[in-house]
Amino acid sequence: MDRMPKWADALLVPLISLIIAFFISGLVILAIGEDPIAAMKLMIDGALGSTYGWGYTLYYATNFMFTGLAVAVAFHAGLFNIGGEGQATLGGLGVAVVCLALPWPHWSLALGAAVIGAAAFGALWAAVPAWLQAKRGSHIVITTIMFNFIAASLLNYVLVNIMRPVGSMDPASARFAVETKLPRLHEILGLVGIPFNNRNPANISLLIAMAACVLVWVLIWHTRLGYQIRAFGKSEKAAVYAGIRPVRITMYAMLISGGLAGMMAVNNVMGEAQRLVLNSVEGAGFIGIAVALMGRNHPFGVFLAAILFGFLYQGGAELALWTKIPRELIVVVQALVILFTGALDNMVRMPVERVFMAFRKAK
Amino acid sequence: MVGNEILGRQDTAAPSAPLAIELRGISKSFGPVQANKNISIRVARGSIHGIIGENGAGKSTLMSILYGFYKADSGEILIGGKTVTIPDSQSAIRAGIGMVFQHFKLVQNFTVLENIILGAEEGRFLRPSLTKARAVLKKLAEDYELDVDPDAVVEDLSVGHQQRVEILKALYRQADILILDEPTGVLTPDEADHLFRILRGLRDQGKTIVLITHKLREIMEITDHVSVMRRGEMVATVTTADTSPEDLAELMVGRKVLLHVEKSPANPGRTVLEVENLRVVDDNKVERLRGISLQVRAGEILGIAGVAGNGQSELLQVLGGISNGTGIVRLNGESLDVTGKHSDGQTRRAKGIAHVPEDRQHLGLIMDFTAWENMAFGYHNAPEYQRNALLMNNEALRADTARKMERFDVRPPNPTLAAKSFSGGNQQKIVVAREIERNPDLLLIGQPTRGVDIGAIEFIHKQILALREAGKAILLVSVELDEIMSLSDRIAVMFDGRIMGERLPDQTNERELGLLMAGMGDK
Amino acid sequence: MDFLTLLQILDSTLRLATPLLLACLAGMFSERAGIFDIGLEGKMLAAAFVSGAVAAVTVNVWLGLLAGIGASLLLAGIHGLASITFRGNQLISGVAINSLAAGLTVLIGQNWFGLGGRTPSLVGDGRFPPLTLPFSEALAPVPVIGPIYHDLISGHTFLVYGAMALVPASWWLLSRTRFGLRLRAVGENPAAVDTAGVSVVRMRFAAVAICGVLCGLAGAYLATGLSAGFVKDMTAGRGFIALAALIFAKWRPVQAMGACLLFGLLEAIANRYQNIDLGGVIIPVQFMQALPYILTVVILAGFVGKAVPPRAGGEPYVKER
């Protein structure tokens, strides 16, 4: 017998977790002598009060959709991919290689190739931990953490020793050709007559991320592979009984997961920076964990949670600009969300279940 | 009726000797399920007291209450005549109770000595405890035939020796009362004999032994008194010498034991499954199948009898493509790969083998999946469940599930409920429906009615027989001898990874099969 | 490379290995008790910040140390609450603790000191002083042994010697005491401990608390021993290197010291040289930085001796019959 209705599990529990996380964050703001209500107003104003703010919110949300989906797909296979950070780093490398390798005549061709390059590099970086997990039983959480650090060193080496233009002191790649510049959101919305601010980095990658949400939904619930991934994630033993091959499913799930994380680079490297710099991922890989947990591993939930975190990110930047509250407040909120929706899930869930049980009995 | 007479004289066996344990009116519920209903029992000091009952009769729950794992909802526990409360294992140990669980509670990479002293150390430092334990162990080994190398690492020990370590643990804590939960389930007959010798020795030294089992033979062989439990209730306590296995069996199940199944005479056709010299070696390099050869023909049920753990599970798993082995397996004359290189559960199904696994909760179903998702489990590649090359047709799958649930009388007939929301019997019906409705050439079916209510048992038996009527080959594995006797056309008995002999059901009896199951065969 | 350079590299190896070793031993106690901890980094960071801040304000390094341990213990308590009391996912809890520390240290640091997340530089009694071992000056002129004793062995802070002393102490505690036996058992088979009448919850909380104290020492050393004050993100992945060392050492204390010294040496070399020329083959500094992680992956892959973690690790204990 289910202890509580599905909607409570999917919406109520994460919502309560979020409220607790926000409440504690509010206390933190109070503790450092600022006004949480004013801060919230400022955040809403800065992130959602103008199309400029919305542009940044959606730009960040695009990153988090990719990394959130990456974590969610792996979760469905019962795998915890903490390596989104490294996979997105490698995805950046893939984008840079693609953009710099050929004189692209048009952005659309470059975009297609960059998506493939980003996904391929990200998938490659997930493939090794996946293979080690499937074949050698090496704990994928530890190996993906290690691969985050190895990715950082690798990128550092490549930028300093290989991709840095002659004469430049900056550990960064050359600028991409102007033809590879992706259409910004205001240009796209302009086509249908919606005015949108033009000084923000939101770009066509947002549409790719939204398409990715839909595709992941189709994959997980409407394809044989998705069925096998979910079955394997619930019970490896039973999956073997059904003839589902663990090695194959582990590899597929992690390749898709790494590919999605890698595709984030299309947004930040190609869509925004137009060159590859050190630490361009900026923790988006870890935010993906919070986004997936908050979104209950459902692509639509991931979509909403990504926008929420995009809002927090942009709002946090505004806060840092106008108050003495540093951007790191958002890292605290993110930590609290992970804590309450992930690790302390039972603490939130059990009282809610009890309420529903009592309610049912009363009826 | 004999049974009612026994019921009527429930307390005739009330021991006159001083009592080691007395339970008064113990009740315990888990949610809506009442595992123990107003249980009272008196166990005499210095006796071996059996508690017998079917799976799920509430035996283990009762003993877990006695060992402080669960708290009874109501009732009273008296140890040595004094009322005690046992909130945790520590209190149970202090009250002189030791427990040997069915699944041993040993730290695998610790030595025997370390396991013995764990929780019963002499002080902050280990050395004095180890020295003392070594001496005590030596003494116990001499007194009770309980010899184990104190410095051996537990994971290197045989199952029988590990069990001795559990007994030693209890004795080291100076337990006067020793509870053993299904102790022979994992033992070879030799090891079981040795265990019984140990238990008798302990009794003769004044210890009280409580033996939980569902095996009548053990009860008759070793106990002084026996209590029978049925569906959470204590139905009788009798002196073993005054009773018979038949009486006890009837008390246990509460009705005539032999299920009568209407069955037409067998009409076997061509050979469907041929197995020659099949061997399986497990992860610990132990040979679990030692050269199995058998045949199953169309329109025939071959029943595999045997005590659990004698290789039946491995046989089903290797035939079902779950695990690997060596040897020859032919289906309809065509050779099958059993090495796992080119085979798995999918290729087996494609060849026409359906498999109802022994463990439906961990193998046969994904408990979090809905009924309709489970209906595709193993058949997710079936063409009728696909919309096109990319997408599955979930609507078709739901409709198909609804049909099958209807036909198999699954209740409630709701395809969108999660598997875990159904009762055991209905879960099993989902699995059986999924496998039988595929119209396989060969059905592998393990413990078809374990944990299934009476109504569903009869339904499932009928379905198996219908498949036989339809000319299919069926390999049935069950530890329930009644089930094997009433369904099979031929019976093969497995013991220690081998087939000890084959019998026809109308030319044999439980006694003969029991001997084969105990390894006393004609080979 | 001359003798003096070698001494300097080894000297800095000792300094750099110390926080790794403390964190590694911390992780060992937690994981041997069955609680995975990928939040070593966060606990160290929190301890580094709080000890740096308190030492700066009070100009008393001991108060700083105590406060640092307190901060680390608080986070350890959250980890215990999540993974023991509420049977949550230990890995997710670790991720949350790392983020929490990364955010809060800067947030509070900025609020208190306004230095962009740094704490004021520590002077005088705000730092751990180097201890000069006896006869250090007297032995200094003796060739070879003198410099080794005077420059390498002598002249470290109390925490360096403390960390080294903790290695045999941890070994003894784990293998020779009742506490150690129960702690190891609870990480291998908690049901065995439970049925033996010992509280699994209490043992695991004890282990998590020890982990908190040791992470506190590690973090305090970073801010008050290795450096003179806290800077943003000053752990710089050391918590994960410690985790790597723990796996490398297969969860054993003496081997943990070896692994930490090795990883400390790699860091010392990477700090000193940009690229290393090994007879024509140039090893880039980034490779040296990545080496601990690469080695750990190789060990985890089981190509060089399989690393088998404690059997009950990562699993919340649920009472079963």
Would you call C189 an interface residue with chain B, using a CB distance cutoff of 8 Å?
A: yes
Inspect the interface and report whether the beta carbons of A139 and C300 lie closer than 8 Å.
Answer: yes
Query: What are the tens digits of pLDDT across the range A250-274?
Result: 999 999 999 999 999 999 999 999 9
Nearest to C111 by CA among A21, A29, A41: A29
d(CA C9, CA C263): 13
Segments in chain B below pLDDT 70: 1-17, 32, 54-56, 188-189, 253-260, 454, 518, 520-523
pLDDT category of residue C305 using cuts at 50, 70 and 90:
low
Local structure of B240: helix, strand or coil: helix
Q: What would the pLDDT profile of B260-317 be if each residue is shown by its tens digit?
A: 677 888 888 999 999 999 999 987 777 889 999 999 999 999 999 887 778 999 999 9
Q: How far apart are CA A81 and CA C75, in angstroms?
A: 23
What is the dihedral sign for C-alpha C80, C83, C86, C89?
positive
Quick one: which of B60, B100, B104, B69 has its CA closest to B214?
A: B60
Q: What residues have CB less than 8 Å from A21, skipping those under 6 apart?
A: A333, A336, A337, A339, A340, A341
Cβ separation B118–C179 shorter than 8 A: no
Residues in chain B: 523
Quote the pLDDT of residue B259.
54
Instruction: Say yes or no: A343 contacts chain C, CB-CB below 8 A.
Output: yes
In a domain, C254, yes or no: no
Q: What is the amino acid identity at position A164?
A: R
Query: CB-based contacts of C55: which residues, under 8 Å, 6+ apart?
Result: C61, C63, C64, C65, C122, C126, C127, C223, C224
In angstroms, the CA C74 to CA C101 distance is 11
Residue C99, C-beta contacts closer than 8 angstroms, at least 6 positions apart: A286, A331, A332, A334, A335, A338, C42
Reported as a pLDDT band with limits 50, 70 and 90, residue A2 is: low
Residue of B446, B507, B158, B187 whose CA lies nearest to B317: B446
**Closest partner CB to A332 (pick from C89, C103, C240):** C103
> Does the residue C313 lie in any domain?
no
pTM: 0.89
Report the Cα B234 to chain-centroid distance in Å.
21
CB distance B477 to B304 below 8 Å:
yes
For residue B1, the model assigns a pLDDT of: 34
What integer pLDDT is reported at residue B5 of this predicted model?
38
| Burial (Cβ within 10 Å: 0-12, 13-18, ≥19) of residue B11 | exposed
Q: Identify the structural domains of chain B with CATH numbers, from first to last.
A: 2-96+177-253 (3.40.50.300), 106-175 (no CATH), 271-365+439-517 (3.40.50.300)
pLDDT in tens, A215-243: 999 999 999 999 999 999 999 999 999 99
> What pLDDT digit, counting tens, does each position of A76-101 carry?
999 999 999 999 999 999 999 999 99
pLDDT recorded at residue A1: 45
Give the span between the Cα atoms of A228 and A238, in whole angstroms.
Answer: 11
- In 3D space, the residue among C108, B176, C3, B61 whose CA is nearest the CA of residue A27 turns out to be C108
pLDDT for position B4: 39
Q: What are phi and psi of B79, to 5 degrees?
A: -115, 125
Instruction: Render pLDDT for A109-131 as a digit per residue (tens, 0 to 9).
Output: 999 999 999 999 999 999 999 99
- Three-state DSSP string of B34-54: EEEEEEEEEEECCCEEEEECC
Asked if C88's CB is within 8 angstroms of A345's CB, the reply is: yes
Nearest alpha carbon to residue B74 among B31, B6, B124, B23: B23
Give the pLDDT score at A177: 93
B154/C contact by beta carbon, under 8 A: no
H/E element, B279 = strand B271-281
Residue C321 with chain B: CB contacts under 8 Å: 60-61, 64, 69, 101
What is B98-140 written as a DSSP string?
A: EEE-SS----TTSBHHHHHHTT--SSSBHHHHHHHHHHHHHHH
How much is the pLDDT for B257?
Answer: 47
Cα–Cα dist B419/B408, whole Å: 15
pLDDT above 80: residue C321:
no
pLDDT tens digits for range A17-38: 999 999 999 999 999 888 999 9
- Domain extents in chain A: 63-307
Tell me if residue C22 falls in helix, strand or coil.
Answer: helix
* A-chain residues near C86 (CB < 8 A): 343-347
Taking only residues 229 to 248 of chain A, the set having a beta carbon closer than 8 angstroms to any beta carbon of chain B reads 230-231, 234-235, 237-238, 240-245
With beta carbons less than 8 A apart as the criterion, state whether A213 and A300 touch.
Answer: yes
B375 has a chain A CB within 8 A of its CB:
no
Query: What's the mean pLDDT when you consider all of chain C?
Result: 92
Residue C152 structural domain: 3-131+144-239
C-beta atoms of A343 and C284 within 8 A: no
Top residue of A227, A234, A248 to mutate, by most chain B CBs within 10 Å, is: A227
Give the count of domains, chain C: 1
Q: Are A73 and A215 in contact (CB under 8 A)?
A: no
Distances (CA, A) of A208 to A66, A111, A191: 9, 10, 18
Q: How far apart are CA B127 and CA C256, in angstroms?
A: 25
Domain assignment present for C214: yes
- Tell me if C302 is assigned to some domain: no
Q: Phi, psi at residue C53, to the nearest 5°?
A: -65, -50
The angle that helices A284-294 and A13-31 make with each other, rounded to 10 degrees, is 130
